[in-house]
């Protein structure tokens, strides 16, 4: 099934932008809005983690299907509707070239087809989507299946930047692609500075850091000290307010100067004590407010009144 065949819900990024949000209509502030952020549905990890074979396991993903279906149903019930639903990477577990990759992809597309067509999907590439050391071929496969691996879009005067964080983790097999993203990012950050946008927000799979800009390098879950500091300083200089990530399968985060790093736990497999969940993010003229909800809580109770009041405030 192509993205176009998937019920029209996949407004795939093309040409480094998202056609669901025409820039000429979205570049001015129009008032508060909200979006839903999820991460790591990662079809197949729960079985692989339970058997202790994350490299080759993952031949079942019924639990992830049910959880992602619950997430979609909860989102569709929300009123008013969110501006979009972003998935911060690791859409599936099977790495490029591994068994079950095609089947996991088709099942995720089938589940996401149920997202209300009025709620565009924003899809971020994770390491399981393009490989720990991506190649031109694995990046092209992602782009063909899900849309561009990095792009920008405007919503109501807010600039959103979607990055391929694997280029900052291990670009050894595709240095020219990493260089192209670097050049593009510098151009986008220059636009953010010049346009004085209401806010600028970044989505990427791997967090800059989990708690502190000065924390030790983790073998897997954060970017290296030199890389994270360089990126964070670029973001701050351009006025970026917050970076949202997944990857950690736990809620975490911290602040560096005036840049918030928000690490959101998973729809799928949990590696800590957080519930399977989604994050509600409200963008007001002055600030960006976010709250993590379990899938059960969001399904049964919806968004709390104090959060809704921010959305309705003019």
> pLDDT value at position 5?
40
> pLDDT value at position 131?
98
User: Does the pLDDT value for residue 7 go beyond 50?
Assistant: no
User: Does the pLDDT value for residue 158 go beyond 60?
Assistant: yes
> pLDDT value at position 116?
95
Burial of 244 (0-12, 13-18, 19+ CB in 10 A): buried
pLDDT in tens, 205-228: 999 999 999 999 987 999 999 999
The phi and psi torsions of 179 (rounded to 5 degrees) equal -65, -40
pTM: 0.96
The torsion defined by the Cα of 137, 139, 140 and 142, in degrees rounded to 10, comes to 130
CATH topology for 12-310 is Purple Acid Phosphatase; chain A, domain 2 (3.60.21)
> pLDDT value at position 279?
98
pLDDT in tens, 45-98: 999 999 988 888 889 999 999 999 999 999 999 999 999 999 999 999 999 999
List alpha helices for the chain, DSSP H: 23-26, 45-51, 62-77, 101-112, 127-130, 136-146, 166-169, 175-195, 225-238, 295-301, 305-312
Mean pLDDT of the chain: 94
User: Which residues have C-beta within 8 Å of that of residue 308, sequence separation ≥ 6?
Assistant: none
**pLDDT band, very low/low/confident/very high, at 8 (cuts 50, 70, 90):** very low
User: Does the pLDDT value for residue 4 go beyond 80?
Assistant: no
> pLDDT value at position 53?
85
Q: Quick one: average pLDDT of 144-160? A: 97
User: Does the pLDDT value for residue 117 go beyond 80?
Assistant: yes
User: Does the pLDDT value for residue 233 go beyond 90?
Assistant: yes
Helix (H, G, I), strand (E, B) or coil at 242: strand
> pLDDT value at position 10?
64
pLDDT in tens, 261-276: 999 999 999 999 999 9
User: Does the pLDDT value for residue 121 go beyond 50?
Assistant: yes
Percentage, residues of the chain above pLDDT 90: 91
User: Does the pLDDT value for residue 120 go beyond 80?
Assistant: yes
**Quick one: residue 70, left, alpha or beta (phi over 0 = left, psi -120 to 50 = alpha)?**
alpha
CB 106 within 8 A of CB 45: no
Can you give the residue ranges of every domain in the chain? 12-310
């Amino acid at each position: 099934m192509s993205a176009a065949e998937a019920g029209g819900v996949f407004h795939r990024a093309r040409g480094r932008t998202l056609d669901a949000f025409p820039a000429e209509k979205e570049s001015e502030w129009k008032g508060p809005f909200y979006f839903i952020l999820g991460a790591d549905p990662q079809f197949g990890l729960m079985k692989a983690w339970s058997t202790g074979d994350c490299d080759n396991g993952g031949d079942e993903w019924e639990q992830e299907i049910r959880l992602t279906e619950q997430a979609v149903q909860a989102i569709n019930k929300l009123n008013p509707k969110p501006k979009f639903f972003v998935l911060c990477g690791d859409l599936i577990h099977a790495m490029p070239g591994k068994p079950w990759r095609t089947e996991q992809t088709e099942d995720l597309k089938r589940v996401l087809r149920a997202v209300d067509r009025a709620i565009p999907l924003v899809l971020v590439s994770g390491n399981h989507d393009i490989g720990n050391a991506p190649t031109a071929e694995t990046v092209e496969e992602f782009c063909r299946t899900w849309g561009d691996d990095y792009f920008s879009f405007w919503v109501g005067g807010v600039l959103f930047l979607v990055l391929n964080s694997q280029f900052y983790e291990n670009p050894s097999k595709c240095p020219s692609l990493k260089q192209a993203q670097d050049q593009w990012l510098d151009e986008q950050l220059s636009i953010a500075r010049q346009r004085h946008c209401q806010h600028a927000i970044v989505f990427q799979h791997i967090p800059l850091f989990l708690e502190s800009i000065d924390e030790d390098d983790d073998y897997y879950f954060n970017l290296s000290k030199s890389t994270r500091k360089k990126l964070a300083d670029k973001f701050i200089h351009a006025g970026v307010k917050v970076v949202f990530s997944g990857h950690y399968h736990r809620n975490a985060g911290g602040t560096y100067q005036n840049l918030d790093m928000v690490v959101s736990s998973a729809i799928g497999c949990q590696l800590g004590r957080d519930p399977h969940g989604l994050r509600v993010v409200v963008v007001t003229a002055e600030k960006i407010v976010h709250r993590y909800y379990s899938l059960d809580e969001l399904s049964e109770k919806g968004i709390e009144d104090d959060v809704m009041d921010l959305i309705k405030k003019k």
